[in-house]
Each structure stands twice: as C-alpha cells, then as structure tokens.
Amino acid sequence: MKFDVLTLFPEMFAILNQSIIGRAIEKNRIEINCINIRDFSKDKHKKVDDTPYGGGAGMVMKADVIYDAYQSIPDKKAKVIYMSPQGKKLNQFKVEELAKQEHLILLCGHYEGIDQRVIDKIVDEEISIGDYVLTGGEIPAMVLIDTVSRYQEGVIAKESIEEESFRNRTIRISTIYKARSI
C-alpha cells in the first residue's frame, strides 16, 4: 500500500521509520512518500498561507499551492483524505475499509485549515482522529498510516487481527456509545 503525504513538515514522518512500521517499509509492505507543500509555492518568500477567501478569522493554506502539490502526484485514482478536526471520526471499521485501498493521499493542514475551494475540488473524505484540535494534520496522518498499515500483509501476525478481540471490543464500545447517544 502506498501513502502520499502532502505536508509542510515532511521531517516529522521520520518517526515512522521505527519499530513495526519501519520494518513494514523495509519489507516493501507499505511505502510512505512525503511531498513538501512549500516546494510548490511560487512566491519568492515561499509563502504558503493566506487570509481566508470570503473572510473569516486567522490564516488558511493557499489553494493554488496545495493544488499544485496534489497535481504532482501522477495517480489520479487515489483517494484523497483531509485530516481535519471537522472530519468523520476514525474508528477500527473505517480503518479496515481504508486498508483495502492501494493508494491513499493524505493532506495535512496547518494554520486555521485549508482554503475551502481546494478541499471541494480534490478531497474525497475528511477524517478526524478525535474531538480536539492539534497544530497540524501531521500527527493525525501518522495515526491513520499506523493503524491502516497493521492490516497490510506481513506487517503483523495475522492472528493479531483475526483474533477479533479488539474488533469485538470496538463493537461493544460503539454499542455503549450508541446507548449513551455520544
């Protein structure tokens, strides 16, 4: 499985070269390719942020720079996921579904987010790792990569997934959540 990550901080992803995910990369079970969004800034100061189109507080990441970074990825069939606190919450069921994909593109936002026009144009799904705000989408992208990578052939022992203990637990937890209407 291939992950292309659109980020302003590609160095952060070096953490994934450790441990089980590091071994999965070495064994070519997964590939993680980081694309530095800043490389696509046409500005001489390599500016990537802008005031929001149509108004609003704070700064957003420039639409054209994100779009050009996305266009540098040749595969147009890959699902584009935007890591955002406003997205659909990630759970083990969603992870299993994403693990079936060949190629995912993960878009990591900063500042107050990304210009809505580019989200509407390129993003297939908006995903959140939980109801809290972080300074960027990089840690959420790493969480998604880690959890989806566990499902790739040869990354962890099959029994660990097939034992179903965690999935059963997930089902129980989601049932409790439903009962409490969280």
Residue from 63, 98, 137, 149 touching ligand 4G0 (CB under 6 A): that is: 137
Near ligand 4G0 by CB under 6 A: residue from 73, 134, 156, 161 = 134
CA 55/CA 106 separation, integer angstroms: 26
Binding mask 12-41 for ligand 4G0 (x = CB under 6 A): ------------------------------
Using CA atoms of 172, 174, 155, 104 in order, give the dihedral in degrees to the nearest 10: 160
Least gap, CB of 157 to ligand 4G0 (angstroms): 29
Cα(153)–Cα(162) distance, rounded to whole angstroms? 12
One of 85, 94, 96, 99 touching ligand 4G0 (CB under 6 A)? 85
Nearer to ligand 4G0, 133 or 171 (CB): 133
DSSP secondary structure string for all residues of 146-165: HHHHTTSTTTS-HHHHHT-H
- For 47, the 3-state DSSP assignment is coil
In the complex with ligand 4G0, the residue whose CB is nearer, 86 or 175, is 86
Compute the distance between CA of residue 64 and CA of residue 120 in angstroms, rounded to an integer: 13
Q: Give the range of 16-24, 46-54, 128-136, 155-163 binding ligand 4G0 by CB under 6 A.
A: 128-136
How does 127-139 read in b/e, with b if 16+ C-beta sit within 10 Å?
bbbeeeeeebbbe
How many residues contact ligand 4G0, by CB under 6 A? 15
Please give the residue ranges that form the binding site for ligand 4G0 (CB under 6 A).
83-85, 109, 112-113, 128-130, 132-134, 136-137, 140
